[in-house]
Amino acid sequence: MNSKKVVYLFFTTLLVGSISGAIVGFILDYSVYTEGSFLNMFFGLIWLLGISAAFSLVSQMGFFAYLTVHRFGLGLFKSQKLWNYVQIIIIAFVVFDLIYFRYIAFALPGETIFNFMIMPILLLLYGIVIAYLKAKDTNQGAFIPALFFIVVITTIEWVPALTVNDPKWLWLYLTPLITANTWQLLILHRLTQAK
C-alpha cells in the first residue's frame, strides 16, 4: 500500500467518523443546538465534528495497533486456527465483562442485568454482520479477526465513555468509533489489492 492510499484511508476515516458522530450528537441534544441563535447551532456542530474527529483518531490508532497484534498473534501461536480460538475466547470474555462489570458498577437498586445486556449484544450482532461482509469480500479466514476487531478493539477504545456511564456519551463516543472501525475494516482490502 503506497502513501497515497494511506493518506486516503486516514482522511476518509476521519471524515466518516466525524460526520457520523456529529449527526448522532446533534440528534441526542437537538433542543440544545437548535435553541437560540444560528451561531449556537453552528458552533455546536463545529464542536461535535471536532470531538468526533478526535474519537475517530482513537479508532485509527486502534486499527493499526490491532494489525500489529494480529501479526504478533499469528507468529506466537504458529497457526491461524489456534489464534482464532484465542480470539473467540477473548471476544466471549469482553462481551461478558461489558455486561457483568457494568452491571456491578452502575446498577441501581432493583435494576436487572437485562438493561446492561442490550448494548454488548447489539455490538456483538453488529460485529457478526460486519465480519460476514469482510469474509464475503475477502476469504472465510477473515471472519474471526474482523469480529475480534469490531467487538474487542472497539470496546477497548470505548472504555473512557463506559467508565462514565452517561447514555449520551456512550452513544456520542461509540458512533464515530464504530463507523470509523467499520470503514477501515471494509476498505483496507480494497486499498491493498494489486491492480
Residue 186 pLDDT > 90, yes or no? Answer: yes
Residue 193 pLDDT > 90, yes or no? Answer: no
Count the helix, strand and coil residues of the chain and give each as a percent rounded to the nearest 5. 90, 0, 10
Mean of per-residue pLDDT scores for the chain: 92
How far, CA to CA in Å, does 13 sit from each of 18, 57, 92, 145?
8, 8, 28, 20
pLDDT at 30: 86
Question: CA-to-CA distance for 112 and 181, rounded, in angstroms?
Answer: 31
Residue 157 pLDDT > 90, yes or no? Answer: yes
pLDDT at 146: 96
pLDDT at 32: 84
pLDDT at 175: 95
Question: CA-to-CA distance for 118 and 121, rounded, in angstroms?
Answer: 5
Tens-digit pLDDT profile for residues 9-41: 999 999 999 999 999 999 998 888 888 788 888
**98 contacts: CB under 8 Å, gap ≥ 6:** 116, 119, 120, 123, 155, 162
pLDDT at 149: 97
Residue 194 pLDDT > 90, yes or no? Answer: no
78 — pLDDT class (breaks 50, 70, 90)? confident
Mean pLDDT of 49-77: 94
Question: CA-to-CA distance for 138 and 10, rounded, in angstroms?
Answer: 21
- Sign (positive or negative) of CA dihedral 151, 156, 158, 164: positive
Mean pLDDT of 92-97: 96
**68 contacts: CB under 8 Å, gap ≥ 6:** none
- Sign (positive or negative) of CA dihedral 125, 148, 13, 171: positive
More confident residue, 193 or 117: 117
**90 contacts: CB under 8 Å, gap ≥ 6:** 148, 152
Question: CA-to-CA distance for 119 and 171, rounded, in angstroms?
Answer: 10
pLDDT at 167: 86
